Amino acid sequence: MCTGGYLATGVEVPEDQQADYESDLRKLKDNAIDVAMRMLYIQVEAKADENEFIRKGRYTPFYVLVDQVAEAALSYAREKKYSPYDFESNLLNKGIDVCWCLRWGLNGGVPPIERRYAMWEHFHIQGINNADHLPIIFREHLFAAAEIYLALPFRVPVVDRMLIDGLIACEISDYGREMFRDKPLLSTSRSPFHHRHVLKTYVLGVVANLVLFGGGAALSFYLGSDGTIARGWSIGIGVVLIGFLLLALAVQTIALPFAWARQSKARKEVERLMGEMLKAYDELQGGVVSANRVYEVVSEAAKAGVAWPAPLFAVLDDVKSRRGRL
């Protein structure tokens, strides 16, 4: 590696050292990609030969992502006259970190062996009332990717698109799993779909009151008839218990339509919010889309009550300020 006068970032590289400078940056880029692919080989515990694994991995989604990020870092370093050391430590390595955070976050951790080269791809989310149809996304890794990426001085279109797409899908997945997954046995849930239907609750309440008050009244009359307690007392106790039964039944019956309406409204609200999120997600289908349009739909959903991840607006604002397209 050349050690000429271009070691200081921002200093113009002498013309006679330009070729060495370009070669040094390119070697650092190629080496970083090679290291990333070898780390991938270790992570997925592939059975194939390491070099064969890396050879087959070229031009796969993960390799293409890493290569595009590294190339963008190289172009920026060349333009701003970064020293090889600063290029590697401040641009290249941090850019590769973004790739790893995206891979871990959007693939739900370490993907299975059949997805060893895979990266996130936009797909149609269906069956929202079944959590098994929702993607598994690690929010913390996605947030870390956004934070590192926005701190970098260069941008990569594919990362812009992947971050925004993933952050929207992340909220859909987390909210959908909370609302529609099987109810936890040992914890409470705020999902109206995890609460017993009010009609079932009403029937169980009626049965319980019949057993408690109706059974008590019958027992009182029986004890009075066989002389165990005074007949007057048994009649009085029985009448009081029947009165409680009728009062409880009346209260439950009057409350039933109101409780039913509240539960129905709560479930419709969940479905409405999911619809708003899916509307924003569907904006990212197809080819090039307008960042302004995505921002409008996301903002409308936020006004409707959707709690988007904070990094989503930060990334959208960044894209809008630059190119306006995804």
Q: Which residue has the higher pLDDT, 191 or 169?
A: 169
Q: Which residue has the tokens 């990362």?
A: 159
Q: Which residue has the higher pLDDT, 229 or 154?
A: 154
In this prediction, residue 325 carries a pLDDT of 77
Q: Which residue has the tokens 């009403």?
A: 202
pLDDT reading at 113 higher than 70: no
| Structural contact between residues 69 and 98, judged by C-beta atoms closer than 8 angstroms | yes
Single pTM value for the model: 0.79
Between CA 252 and CA 200 the distance in angstroms is 12
Q: What is the secondary structure of 9-53 as a DSSP string?
A: TTSPPPGGGHHHHHHHHHHHHHHHHHHHHHHHHHHTT--S-HHHH
pLDDT tens-place string over residues 219-267: 888 888 877 778 788 888 888 888 988 998 899 889 888 888 888 888 8
Between CA 21 and CA 4 the distance in angstroms is 9
Q: How confident is the model at residue 191 (pLDDT cuts 50, 70, 90)?
A: confident
| Structural contact between residues 154 and 75, judged by C-beta atoms closer than 8 angstroms | yes
In this prediction, residue 318 carries a pLDDT of 92
pLDDT tens-place string over residues 44-92: 655 666 677 677 777 778 888 999 999 999 999 999 989 999 999 999 9
Which residues on adjacent β-strands are paired with residue 290? 325
pLDDT reading at 108 higher than 90: no
Q: Which of 26-30, 121-125, 230-234 has the lowest mean pLDDT?
A: 121-125
pLDDT reading at 286 higher than 80: no
Q: Of the candidates 196, 179, 207, 317, which has an alpha carbon nearest to the alpha carbon of residue 260?
A: 196
Q: Of the candidates 186, 196, 182, 168, which has an alpha carbon nearest to the alpha carbon of residue 267?
A: 196
In this prediction, residue 4 carries a pLDDT of 45
pLDDT tens-place string over residues 309-324: 999 999 999 998 887 7
In this prediction, residue 2 carries a pLDDT of 47
Between CA 163 and CA 143 the distance in angstroms is 9
Between CA 310 and CA 28 the distance in angstroms is 34
In whole numbers, what is the pLDDT of the chain averaged over residues?
83
In this prediction, residue 67 carries a pLDDT of 92
Name every residue whose Cβ is closer than 8 Å to that of residue 162 and which is 6 or more positions away in sequence.
65, 102, 106, 119, 120
Angle at 248 (CA atoms; ends 247, 250), nearest 5 degrees: 65
- Give the pair of three-digit tokens for residue 19: 């070729």
| Structural contact between residues 286 and 124, judged by C-beta atoms closer than 8 angstroms | no
